[in-house]
């Protein structure tokens, strides 16, 4: 079973994948933190195989879906993000806005989560390796 902390960390990292360079963005985490988050995700995943699958990311998404309606609303995201100590409200709102790729006010498995996953999956093999995660995460800080 994937722990809630793992789920939150991975989803947070995935959401960050939607963010390119933006002058109004909050400070984002460094490559060392990205490696730490990936290790945490792998440590709590179903398979410690060095990659994150779509199924693992979907399990993380479910942990943010507090009411179980298959959608993550802004308040759900902010509540989970801040309650678990993953960042502040400003960061949570910023990341939510980037992860809501269709701007409908919710993050859903399709299209939002699938788009974010593809953004992190740099080589298109259907998984996100630690290197891909770190590269994308780090690019968000510049």
Interval 6-65: pLDDT, tens = 555 555 565 555 544 444 555 555 677 677 667 766 765 566 788 988 888 887 788 889
Query: pLDDT band at 4, cuts 50/70/90?
Result: low
Confidence category of residue 72, pLDDT binned at 50, 70, 90: very high
d(CA 37, CA 24): 24
**Which residues have CB under 8 Å from 69's CB, separation 6+?**
none
CA distances from 70 to 22, 58, 62 (A): 29, 10, 7
With a cut of 50, say whether residue 92 has pLDDT above it: yes
């Amino acid at each position: 079973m994937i722990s809630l902390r793992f789920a939150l960390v991975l989803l947070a990292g995935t959401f960050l994948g939607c963010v390119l360079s933006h002058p109004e963005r909050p400070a984002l985490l460094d490559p060392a933190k990205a490696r730490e988050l990936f290790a945490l995700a792998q440590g709590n995943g179903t398979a410690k195989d060095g990659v994150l699958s779509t199924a693992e990311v979907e399990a993380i998404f479910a942990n943010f879906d507090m009411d179980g309606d298959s959608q993550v609303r802004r308040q759900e995201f902010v509540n989970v993000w801040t309650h678990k100590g993953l960042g502040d409200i400003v960061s949570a709102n910023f990341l939510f806005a980037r992860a809501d790729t269709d701007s409908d006010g919710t993050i859903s498995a399709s299209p939002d989560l699938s788009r974010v996953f593809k953004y992190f999956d740099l080589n298109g093999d259907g998984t996100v390796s630690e290197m891909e995660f770190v590269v994308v995460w780090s690019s968000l800080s510049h």
